[in-house]
Amino acid sequence: MKRTLTVLLTLAVVFSAALLAEAGRKQDNRPDGGTLSYGEYGRPATLDPITSNEMISLRLTELLFNGLVGINEKQEIVPELAQRWDRSSDGRVYTFYLRKDVTWHPREGEEPKPFSADDVMFTYKIMMHPRTITPLKVRYEFIDKAEKIDDYTVRFTLKRPILNALAKFSFKVIPKHGPVNPQFLTRDDAFVQNPIGTGPYMLKNVTAEREIVLTANDNYFKGRPHVDQIVAKPFADQNIMTQALMFNAIDMIVLVNPRDIPEIQGDKRFILQPYNALSYSFFGYNCRNPLLADKRVRQAFTYAVNRQEMLDSFFNSQGTIISGPFAPGSWAYNLDVLPIPFEPQKAIALLQEAGFSRGADGFMQKDGKKLTLSLKVPIEKESEAVKRVVLAFKNYLKNVGVDIKVEFKEWQAWKEDVFLEHDFDVIFASWVFDDSADISSLFHSGEIGPWKNNFGGYSNPEVDGLINESKLTLDHEKRRTINRKLHAILADENPYTFLWTLTNYAAFQKKVRRVAIHPYKFFSYADEWFMEGKDQK
């Protein structure tokens, strides 16, 4: 009897070990191995999903972390860290049943720690802490209460039912044992530079050249990703990035410079894949400056610039001029609102109406003060095209009597000036949205403050009211109507000079197979990508 038990136990141990080993690999008969290096147009400020507010970080955190739920290519909500969920009949209570086979990336010399409900609770609390620096807070204010039911069950009670509530639980979960400060997260915490997650890839190191090296997570709960290593290489100059691809120094570019599309399309070694990130570029104004608080001045600036000429000259016409705060590929774009035309005379008339007159030096002035403004541009944007855009802007405005002083700043310093200190008059930047086209954090007056997205301090009670109403409704068509109104108002108000949306293509070597790209997060399906043995390096 004892012998039989021993044999059974031994068999069970052997069988479990074999299962574990099998569970680590994907069962799709595709080869593992190889390194994929991709070109980024800058360095991320942080690598955690909570404090970051830029695309470079977003792409990396997609590889490092998971949410309770994910969204697949068919726009379906799929299980991730939660294996299933319940929704109460009134749509207010969501209960998530968590996977029990998930572990956190191990720190060096440590064993992997198990993921549990405590981590979900920790993430929610730290995200909502008033001292945590994050743009996410506004997105989760709809949650009334979060509870741990047991080690693998969490429950969220909403203040009220909302549209697409389940999708919002795709927020990335961080480990309770991750941040140094367990109360709130700031950019000073070591975790933001050296994070651990549950995702398909683990952060290995950041090289002296600021390359970010990620390695495959053997214990990934969806099966080990096929590609062994992913390396993010920063390029300040997009032209060099394309050359790096052409000379095999990198395998992929996440966003091809529109000017380089013909060159890449003509080369059979590469695949160009469109992914429609809903994005646009703009000149944003600081409405705290009394000169820019006057709508007529902002409107004048938009009339003064020839956007089509800039798009044609600097981006080979590869994009579309927009009229308002949504991208043309969005469901929220108001098709009845047309872009403000290029009319310098109208710009001058508007400035005169706002009380300015031409001085002897040709520049506009008011109360004896010359109309001089600073334009701050992040240095990562110092590609040739961007330089030309800002210089063209300066010249267009000079033609109507406005003196623009262009200042290039290092990315982090630029963000501090814009989002923390609000020390700027005009900025040139771009926003990228996910499908929900949510502009509330950009233009609601409640989003004015340090590290919040309404950096320009734009405030309009009508806009606030519409945004609030849009958040409360459960009716898609009503929300669509509200967004159309918001589009029309903001197109008239010109908190930004809305510029264009550019053609978005990723380029990669043909050897990288089964590449599906998430239009916003990019690497959502990267664990499925692979390279044949002969193509691995």
Partner 1 sequence: MNRTIVFLTILMVAAAPVFGADDSVAKAMKLYEKRHYAEAATMLRAELPSIEHARQGTARLTLGMIYLKNAELHRKLYLEALSLHQDYLKKLAAEQGKSRSRFVDLYLGEALLASGKGEPALSYLQKFASTEGLEPRAKAMAQVSIGLCFALKGDMQKADEAWAGLPGADPEVKAALAAAYSKAGLKDRKPLQLANESLEVLKKSGPGASLRYLTNVASVYAAEGLADKGIDLFKRADLKAYSYKEAVSKAKIITFYDAFLLDDLAQLYLMAGIASLEKALEDGKIRDTVNFYLGEAYAQSGAVDQSVKSTAAFIASSMPQQYRDKAAARQAANNYRKGRQFDAIGVWDELSKKQPLDPELLAEILIVCSGVRADCPKLAAKAAASVEAGEGRRFSLLNIALGRYYSAKKDFAKAASYLETGRDKSNKNKIEFNDPEMLVNLAEAYYRTKKFSEALEIYFEMSKQFPEVRQLQEALQGIYAMEHKSAGDVKIY
Residues 69-88 that bind partner 1 (CB under 8 A): 71, 73-77
Q: Which of 475, 492, 514, 532 binds partner 1 (CB under 8 A)?
A: 475
Q: Which of 435, 445, 468, 511 binds partner 1 (CB under 8 A)?
A: 435
Radius of gyration of the chain (CA): 25
Per CB under 8 A, which of residues 263..292 are in contact with partner 1?
265, 268, 272-274, 276, 278-279
Tell the smallest beta-carbon distance from residue 513 to partner 1 (Å).
13
Cα-based torsion angle of the residue sequence 520, 128, 449, 162 in order, rounded to the nearest 10 degrees: 60
Q: Does 166 bind partner 1 (CB under 8 A)?
A: yes
Q: Does 436 bind partner 1 (CB under 8 A)?
A: yes
Per-residue tokens: 128: 């909502």
Q: Which of 125, 137, 478, 513 binds partner 1 (CB under 8 A)?
A: 478
Closest to 287 (Cα-Cα) out of 431, 135, 408, 460? 460
Tokens 């709130």 identify what position?
184
β-partners of residue 399 are: none
Per CB under 8 A, which of residues 354..393 are in contact with partner 1?
none
Tell the smallest beta-carbon distance from residue 321 to partner 1 (Å).
11
Per-residue tokens: 415: 């963000």
In the bound state with partner 1, the residue whose beta carbon lies nearer, of 162 and 244, is 162
Tell the smallest beta-carbon distance from residue 151 to partner 1 (Å).
26
Q: Which of 35, 372, 481, 536 binds partner 1 (CB under 8 A)?
A: 481
Q: Which of 244, 349, 420, 432 binds partner 1 (CB under 8 A)?
A: 432
Q: Which of 25, 113, 137, 139 binds partner 1 (CB under 8 A)?
A: 139
Per CB under 8 A, which of residues 45..64 are in contact with partner 1?
52-56, 58
Per CB under 8 A, which of residues 4..23 are in contact with partner 1?
none
β-partners of residue 70 are: 78
In the bound state with partner 1, the residue whose beta carbon lies nearer, of 52 and 198, is 52
**Dihedral-angle region of residue 528 (phi above 0 means left; psi in -120 to 50 means alpha; beta otherwise):** alpha
In the bound state with partner 1, the residue whose beta carbon lies nearer, of 42 and 355, is 42
Side-chain half-sphere of 307: how many Cα atoms within 13 Å? 22
Helices 384-399 and 238-246: crossing angle, nearest 10°? Answer: 150
Q: Does 523 bind partner 1 (CB under 8 A)?
A: no
β-partners of residue 148 are: 154
Q: Dihedral sign, CA of 382, 246, 268, 520?
A: negative
Give the C-alpha separation, 493 to 44, whole Å: 32
Please give, one letter per residue, the 3-state secondary structure of 367-389: CCEECEEEEEEEHHHCCHHHHHH
β-partners of residue 264 are: none
Number of residues that bind partner 1 (CB under 8 A): 72
Per CB under 8 A, which of residues 390..429 are in contact with partner 1?
429
Q: Are strands 252-253 and 500-502 parallel, antiparallel or unpaired?
A: unpaired
Tell me the residue ranges of DSSP E strands in 122-245.
143-150, 153-158, 201-206, 212-216, 229-234
Question: DSSP letters of 331-376?
Answer: TT--TTPPPPP--HHHHHHHHHHTT-EE-TTS-EEETTEE-EEEEE
Tell the smallest beta-carbon distance from residue 351 to partner 1 (Å).
29
Is there a contact between 33 and 495 (Cβ–Cβ < 8 Å)?
Answer: no
Q: Which of 4, 5, 477, 534 binds partner 1 (CB under 8 A)?
A: 477
Residues 6+ apart with CB under 8 A from 411: 42, 43, 45, 378, 379, 380
Tell the smallest beta-carbon distance from residue 192 to partner 1 (Å).
16
Q: Does 331 bind partner 1 (CB under 8 A)?
A: yes
Q: Does 320 bind partner 1 (CB under 8 A)?
A: yes
Q: Does 438 bind partner 1 (CB under 8 A)?
A: yes
In the bound state with partner 1, the residue whose beta carbon lies nearer, of 105 and 168, is 168
Per CB under 8 A, which of residues 170..199 are in contact with partner 1?
170-171
Query: Which of the ranges 66-74, 217-225, 339-347, 388-396 carries the binding residues for partner 1, by CB under 8 A?
Result: 66-74
Q: Which of 227, 482, 490, 506 binds partner 1 (CB under 8 A)?
A: 482
Per-residue tokens: 88: 């109460």
Q: Does 464 bind partner 1 (CB under 8 A)?
A: no
Q: Which of 173, 371, 442, 491 binds partner 1 (CB under 8 A)?
A: 442
Query: Which of the ranges 13-21, 162-170, 299-307, 354-362 carries the binding residues for partner 1, by CB under 8 A?
Result: 162-170
Give the C-alpha separation, 200 to 222, whole Å: 8
Per CB under 8 A, which of residues 232..261 are in contact with partner 1?
261
Tell the smallest beta-carbon distance from residue 259 to partner 1 (Å).
9
Query: Which of the ranges 218-226, 236-244, 470-478, 489-497 carries the binding residues for partner 1, by CB under 8 A?
Result: 470-478
Straight-line distance from the first to the last Cα atom of the chain, in angstroms, rounded to the nearest whole number = 54
In the bound state with partner 1, the residue whose beta carbon lies nearer, of 473 and 536, is 473
How far lies 377's CA from each of 327, 411, 412, 414, 453, in Å? 22, 9, 11, 7, 16
Q: Does 90 bind partner 1 (CB under 8 A)?
A: no
